[in-house]
């Protein structure tokens, strides 16, 4: 190949790369608001599931941690936050809700990349139910308050770690109990 041919090929590749980058940029700017809207809908649905009696939700931020505060009759009746502990297949994004006393009132797995059929069992409502009623004063992992999913130990422990972290954050940063 001659130098001239190499320069032409390099120029064509540069134009294709620039067009691809531009298209990706436009695609991202178009889809990002839609993704954010769907994420808020998912968070709101989780909040209404955890706190069906709630009259209003307020988003509050303390030390770069977002809290979704639930008010009923003007009083704080619960708080939720999103954490993302590391699982076997990557980060597990989950919402943990607690009542005004710092007791778990709900856990929802928002997204994960765990192994289908094993680690993905962390989404099962029956498994998540066992967190309801646990409090920050308990060592959930150490006291074996929660059953580990057979074959998905890392995923199970990540969710337990996430619940403990969320409860600690809620109590320390928001409820002050």
Q: How far is CA 45 from the centre of its chain?
A: 14
CATH fold for the domain made of 44-175: Enolase-like; domain 1 (3.30.390)
Q: Are 175 and 100 in contact (CB under 8 A)?
A: yes
* pLDDT, tens digit (0-9, with 9 covering 90-100), for 37-89: 887 788 777 888 888 887 778 888 788 888 888 888 878 888 999 998 888 88
How many angstroms from the chain centroid is the CA of residue 92? 6
CA 67 from chain centre, in angstroms, equals: 12
pLDDT tens figures, 127-174: 899 989 888 777 666 666 777 777 778 888 899 899 999 999 888 887
């Amino acid at each position: 190949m001659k130098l001239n041919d190499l320069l032409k090929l390099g120029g064509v590749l540069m134009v294709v790369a620039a067009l691809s980058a531009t298209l990706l940029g436009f695609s991202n700017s178009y889809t990002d608001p839609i993704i954010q809207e769907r994420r808020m809908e998912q968070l709101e649905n989780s909040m209404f599931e955890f706190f069906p009696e709630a009259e209003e939700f307020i988003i509050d931020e303390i030390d770069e941690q977002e809290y979704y505060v639930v008010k009923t009759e003007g009083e704080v009746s619960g708080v939720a936050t999103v954490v993302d502990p590391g699982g076997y297949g990557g980060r597990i994004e989950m919402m943990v809700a607690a009542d005004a006393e710092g007791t778990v009132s709900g856990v929802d797995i928002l997204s994960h990349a765990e192994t289908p059929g094993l680690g993905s069992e962390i989404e099962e409502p029956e498994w998540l139910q066992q967190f309801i009623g646990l409090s920050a004063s308990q060592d959930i992992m150490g006291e074996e308050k929660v059953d580990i999913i057979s074959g998905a130990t890392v995923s199970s422990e990540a969710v337990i770690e996430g619940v403990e972290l969320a409860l600690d954050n809620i109590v320390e940063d928001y409820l002050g109990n």
